[in-house]
Amino acid sequence: MPSKVISPDLANRLLTVFRSRQESIEAFIKTLVEIESPSGDEAGSRAVVDRLVSAANDLGCVDSIERRTVPAFGEHLVIRSFSEFENSGQILIVGHTDTVHERGSVELRPWRKEGNRIYGPGVFDMKANCALALEILRTFVTLQLESQRAVTIILTCDEEVGSQSGWPLMEQLAKRVDTRCAFVLEPPALGGYVKTGRKGTGIYSIRVEGKAAHAGLEPEKGASAILELARQTQLLHSINRAGSGVTINVGVVHGGTRSNVVPAEAEGEIDVRFSTENEAEEVDQLLKNLQPIDDRVKVFVSGGINRPPLERTTAVAELFEIARAIGTMIDFELGEAQVGGASDGNFLAAMGIPVLDGLGISGDGAHAVHEHILADDIAVRGTMIAGMILSV
């Protein structure tokens, strides 16, 4: 992936343009935040896409806009620019328009700006970054710049609930043209760090069949499914202390019928995280081959790997060094982190595409009531991402 980092002069010209647009960018972010679009809200999803499409049509550098209808969710949005350079490959800019905040959240916690902080449901994860993606294209037009590769922006509508339809779309678009790299606009890690590694995730269920009996009269004739599930939970959680990149959490449990009955059934939901493909295979085999501790009961495990890991490869490290170099040009020290949470970047990384994640605007409180971004980071992030598009 040959690259030539932009000059300090160009980096500062980009920064100047973004800063000159600060008020307009904030106003656009406010508009997007106030259009509530929780996952599964078709009307909200379409309304956000309507607004983004309207803004994209005003940019002057968009070659095509595609809206993909997703039943029961809304619409995915694909915006293509610099398509004349597709023979040199494409750069993917990936984000999502859905949030975890239910309708009515904006009324309870309306948009507000306090000093350098801008608050609002979904502003950090990730309405502000949807706005930033379009603003980057606008800056190219303002400075009469061209990417030497095609740029494809993909904003999905179901990322917060697993990207069941979003991932196939990304895979299709990534394969359509040679994809040189992907920039994921998820929120950065603490300190504004980009994410050069993400753990993969697995979602499993465990079901235990025991034998019911009267808990007072003849408990010895029963085999407790709840006790077996508790023992299996303890066994699985002990793996977290083994020092590997694997973590297992039995987070939800159900079981039993009455307090005076030895429970015949119990079940649990398991979240699994891992750092490498080898760890994924090992933990998958472990879970699918669980044996009963009490041989009078039966144990069944279902589920599997949901997202593969995003590993810090040499190509990912190169992307980070480009971003850090551009940050240095504008007096910003960029760090990197490897985190436990997964994103759509995990899917793309599994295709062998170099991915730099966590490029979104700094802030805090993703999914929480204090969710916010830092206003002075908007221009910094815009400059870094625009500079990387011009450098890769």
pLDDT band at 383 (very low <50, low <70, confident <90, very high): very high
| 134 shares a domain with 61 | yes
Tell me: the pLDDT tens digits for 98-152? 999 999 999 999 999 999 999 999 999 999 999 999 999 999 999 999 999 999 9
| 194 shares a domain with 207 | no
Residue 37: CB atoms within 10 Å: 27
Of the three residues 267, 287, 307, the one that is the final residue of a domain is 307
| 188 shares a domain with 158 | yes
Report the distance separating Cα 324 and Cα 334, nearest Å. 5
pLDDT band at 243 (very low <50, low <70, confident <90, very high): confident
Q: Is the pLDDT of residue 3 over 70?
A: no
| 104 domain-assigned | yes
Mean pLDDT of 264-269: 98
Is 355 within 8 Å of 338 (Cβ atoms)?
Answer: no
| 287 domain-assigned | yes
Residue 161 per-residue DSSP state: G
Q: What is the extent of the structural domain holding 157? A: 8-198+309-391
Tell me: the pLDDT tens digits for 79-107? 999 999 999 999 999 999 999 999 999 99
| 251 shares a domain with 188 | no
Question: Which amino acid is it at 205?
Answer: S
Element (H, E) at 200: strand 200-209
Tell me: the pLDDT tens digits for 22-32? 999 999 999 99
| 3 domain-assigned | no
Domain CATH for 206:
3.30.70.360
Tell me: the pLDDT tens digits for 169-226? 999 999 999 999 999 999 999 999 999 999 999 999 999 999 999 999 999 999 999 9
Domain CATH for 149:
3.40.630.10
Report the distance separating Cα 246 and Cα 146, nearest Å. 43
Report the distance separating Cα 197 and Cα 310, nearest Å. 5
| 153 shares a domain with 86 | yes
Q: Is the pLDDT of residue 2 over 60?
A: no
| 349 shares a domain with 294 | no
| 2 domain-assigned | no
Is 209 within 8 Å of 302 (Cβ atoms)?
Answer: no
- Mean pLDDT, the chain, rounded, equals 96
pTM of the model: 0.90
Beta carbons within 8 Å of 157's beta carbon, 6+ residues apart:
37, 39, 45, 49, 70, 73, 74, 75, 76, 96, 97, 98, 166
The string of DSSP codes covering 203-231 is EEEEEEE-B-EETTT-GGG-B-HHHHHHH
Is 125 within 8 Å of 371 (Cβ atoms)?
Answer: yes
Number of domains comprising the chain = 2
